[in-house]
Amino acid sequence: MSAPFTPTDEQRRILDHADGHLLIEAAAGSGKTSVLALLALEYAAVGRAVLALTFSANGKAVLADRLAAWNPRLADKVTVATIDEVCEAEAQRCLADDRLSVDDGWALDHVLPCVIERTNEAFAGDERHPQLEGHAEARRDLLDAFRFIKQSLAPGLIGDEQDPDWIEQAIGDRPYPVWHAFLEYERRRAVLPVERRKRRGRGFRLAGDACYDLVRAAGQEGLNPPGFGQRYLLLDEFHDTSPLQLEFLSLWGRRLQRVVAVGDRDQALQAWRAADAAHIFPAFCERFAVRTRLPLSLSFRFGPRLAQLANALRSPSQAPVQGAGDSPGRVVEERRPLAAFLKALGQDPDAGGCAILARDAGQLVPVQLALAELGQPFRLHERVLPFWRRGEARLLQALAEIVAAPRTGETRAHAQPDPEYLKRQRRLLAERLLSLPGWLLGDATRQDLIDHIADSAANWRAVCEMLPRVPFSPDAGEAQRGRRSQLQAAIAALLEAPADQALGPLVRAFARAARLETDLAAYAGSREQGRARVAAWRHLVDHLDAQGFTAAGWLKRLADLERRHRYPSETARPGPLLSSIFHAKGSEWDRVVLVGLEEGRFPLANVPFAEEKRYAYVACTRARRALILHAEPGATPGRLLPLLMEAAQ
C-alpha cells in the first residue's frame, strides 16, 4: 500500500519494524496518529485483523477520519474504538449478570444523592469527618473520586476494607467519608432498589465500571478472559492509560501477535483518574515483553524556537524535540496588567485566531472577568463552562439574591421574562445553597425545599427565614450543630445587610462561617478540581471587591453576561478562544497566550514541579507560530516563566 505522505526516517523505522511488540515515545506534533493510521492500513492491506484503541472519543474520531480519508476500502477492515466501548462490549459478552448500562447523568441524578445521604447519615455524629456536599458539581467530583479508586488499584481491587493503610492508598488525599461513599456506591451497583429496576435489571454499570468489573471477575470470580477478536492491537494516547486499563489489556491481550502503543509521557495530565505514564510505560514493557522503544521527535507543528521551549520542559530521558514547522516561532514575555493586555489583544484584527490558556478552569475565571469588564467578546472551549455557570458563581449569585431580596412592602421585577428560565435558575441556585454540608439536611428534605423554591417563586428572604426551623439529623454531633448555628447566623447577617452595601465583604464573612473553601477542596482531590474550585471562588470575590459591586449590581452583570452568551451578536468580531490546558490537549492554534505565570498560580504551590512542567509542555506545544507568556507586573514570576524565557533565547 502506498503511503499518503512521505514518511521521515523515524517514521519509516517504525513502519518497517517487525520484531515483536513496540512502544513509540512521540513528541507533540510529531504525527503519531498519522503513523498509527498508516500502520493500521498496512496491516489491513495484507488481511490482518486490527483493533485500534484510543482513550477519548475525540481521539477515536481523529483516527477514524484519517483512515477513511486515506483509504475508505481498507478503513472498514480496521476496528476503531475507545477502551471504554470495548470494555462495555466485553462485559455484555463475558459477565453472567444483567446489569443495566447507564450513562453518567442517570447515576448522578438517581444514585449519587442516595449515596451522599447515606454517607452523611453514617458520619452525622462523628465530628472528625466533614459531611459530603450534594450539589451537581460535588456529585461529579465524587464520581471522579470513585473512578480514581478503581483505576489506581487494579491488581488488588477491593482489598481489606478495614485496613487504614490500604484505604489511604485507595482514596489518595480525599477524606475518609469518600471511601464509605465508594463502598455504598458499589453496593448499589450490585443491586438497585426495586423502584429503579427496568425489566430484570440487577444493578447498573457505567462505562468506566465495565473495565473494573471485567478485571475483578478475572481475578476473583474465575472468569477466563476470551481475548480480543483481533490479533493486532494499536494503542493511541497511551500516556492516558491507568493501571486498571493496563491490567485489562494484558488479560485480554494474551493471544495478540502484535501490540504497538504510542504516547507522550510529557502529555500525561490525567492523574485525577490515576493515569501515570512514568509507571505505566515500563509496566507495559514488562507485561508484553516489549524489547523495542522507538522515538518520534520531529515535530511538524512548530519551528526551532518553540522546540527549544518544549525541550526545556521534556522529561530528561526523552529524545529532544526537533522543530520542523513552517515558521521559526516567536516567544514574547508580557508583563502589562491583564486587563490592559487583553484590551490591546481585543483590538488586534487576528484576535479571533488566538487561544488564551490557563492552568485550570479556576485560573481561567479572572480572564473571563477581565474581558467581561472590558465588554469584549470571547469564546469558550466546548467543555469549559462560563464562570457564571460554575458552582462557585451559582453560590455567589444565591447569596446576592438573599441580600437583594425585597424587604417588606418592596417588589423587584426580574429582567428575564421567561418563567421557565427563571424556574430553572431558582432550582440551580437553591440546589447550590442548600447543598452546603453545614445545613445537615437529608436528601428528601433538601429536595422538598429546592422544589418549593423553584415551583413557587418563593422570596429568598422568606426561604432563609424558614431554614432554622427545618429539621436535621438527630445524630449530629455538638460541633456539627454548632456549624449549623454559624451558618444560620451568616445567612441572618446577609438578610440584615443594607441592599446597597458592597457585596464582597459580606460573602467573605459568609465563606468563613460556612468553612466554604475547605468544602470546595475536600472531595475533588487537592491537585485538580478542588484547587480549581477554590481558585475560582477567590477570583470572584476579589473581583467583587475590586469593582465594588452591590448585590443588585452583581445580579445585573450576571444577567447581562448570560444574555450576551445565549444570544451573541451576529455582527460582533469573534474574540479569542479561552480554555484550560487540560481541555486544550489535542488542539493547536497559530498564536497561544499562556496566562497566570505567577508564583503560586502556575506552578501551583505544593505540587511536584515535574507535574507542572507537563502542564506547561502541553500549553506551549499548542502554538504553531507564536507564544505569549503573561504574568502580572509586580507579582513574583513563577519558576516556569524564567525557565521558558531562558530556553527561548
479 labelled as ligand-binding?
A: no
Q: Which residue in the block uniquely carries the three cell numbers 509586580?
A: 634
Q: Which three cell numbers stand for residue 190?
A: 450490585
Please give the grid coordinates belonging to residue 487. Answer: 451558618
Burial class (CB in 10 A: 0-12, 13-18, 19+), 30: buried
Q: What's the DSSP call for residue 637? A: B
CB contact burial 431-444 (16+ within 10 A = b; e otherwise): bbbbbbbbbbbbbe
31 is in an annotated binding site: yes
Element (H, E) at 260: strand 258-263
Rounded Cα gap, residues 422 and 400, in angstroms: 16
C-alpha span between 271 and 105 (Å, rounded): 23
Instruction: Confirm or deny that 393 is annotated as ligand binding.
Output: no
Angle at the Cα of 397 from the Cα atoms of 391 and 403, rounded to 5 degrees: 145
Retrieve residue 370's grid coordinates: 477581565
CA distances from 170 to 26, 487, 615 (A): 31, 32, 25
329 torsion bin: left (phi>0), alpha (psi -120 to 50), beta (else): left
C-alpha dihedral sign at 218, 222, 223, 227: positive
Asked if 10 and 296 count as a contact pair (C-beta separation under 8 A), the reply is: yes
Query: What would you measure as the largest C-alpha separation in the chain, in angstroms?
Result: 84
Q: How far is residue 383 from each of residues 25, 333, 577, 578, 602, measured CA to CA in Å?
A: 28, 28, 12, 11, 21
Residue 30 annotated as binding site: yes
Is residue 27 part of an annotated ligand binding site? yes
Nearest to 332 by CA among 341, 343, 322: 341
33 is in an annotated binding site: yes
| Annotated binding-site positions | 26-33
| Annotated binding-site positions for ATP | 26-33
